[in-house]
Amino acid sequence: MKADLDALDLRLVETLQKDSSMPFVDIADRLGVTEGTVRNRVRRLRRLGVIRRFTVSVDPLVLGQSVVAFVLLNAVNGRLNEVAKKLSSLDAVAEVHETHTYGDLLLKVRAKSASDLAGIISNDIKGVPGVAGTQVLSVLNVWKDSP
């Protein structure tokens, strides 16, 4: 269900996406409203599910995860939810998306090296009961990566 947001809500969300650690008083100054307005709006946006959590965005390269791949995965009929839940629990799997056309799931996987990636795919991903097949798309260059 789409939330009913006004221009201030959208500016507030955009500000928090850029820096969720910014104090409410600084956000209020930037948006030209009171700190209380910011606090109330954030509370409302959390209640509506617009803001799910406050988190940090880390650079995977700095953490040594320089290899990125997307994995198209087919699941055995009737086991898609089970497979998706198990894959979602793997540390190397950054994202899990159910797809419509090519495969059942699209995974974003991060690894320290090509050999590390091969092990993750061969052992961790293909080792999940219910995985019928995979196709790996290695990333050569990232032009945009945003939350």
- Per-residue pLDDT band for 1 (boundaries 50, 70, 90) equals low
How confident is the model over 99-103, as a mean pLDDT? 85
Q: Average pLDDT of the chain?
A: 92
Could you report the per-residue pLDDT of 10-23, keeping only the tens digit for each? 999 999 998 999 99
pLDDT of residue 145: 81
Helix (H) or strand (E) segment spanning residue 28: helix 24-31
CATH code of domain 67-138: 3.30.70.920
Instruction: Report d(CA 105, CA 71) in Å as an integer.
Output: 8
Residue among 85, 91, 120 at smallest CA distance from 105: 85
Q: Where does the chain have alpha helices with state H?
A: 7-18, 24-31, 35-48, 80-88, 114-119
Largest CA distance in the chain: 55
Give 106 or 61, the one with higher predicted confidence.
106
Q: What is the pLDDT of residue 147?
A: 64
10 Å CB burial of residue 12 (0-12, 13-18, 19+) is: buried
Mean pLDDT to the nearest integer, 25-53: 96
**What number of other Cβ atoms are within 10 A of residue 140's Cβ?**
6
Please, which residues have CB within 8 angstroms of residue 43's CB and are 6 or more apart in sequence? none
Given a cut of 90, whether residue 74 has pLDDT beyond it is yes
Which pLDDT score is estimated for 132? Answer: 96
d(CA 95, CA 36): 36
Domain chopping of the chain, boundaries: 7-48, 67-138
Identical fold between 7-48 and 67-138? no
- The CATH architecture of the domain made up of 7-48 is Orthogonal Bundle (1.10)
User: What percentage of residues in the chain have a pLDDT greater than 90?
Assistant: 79
8 A C-beta contact, residue 121 and residue 140? no
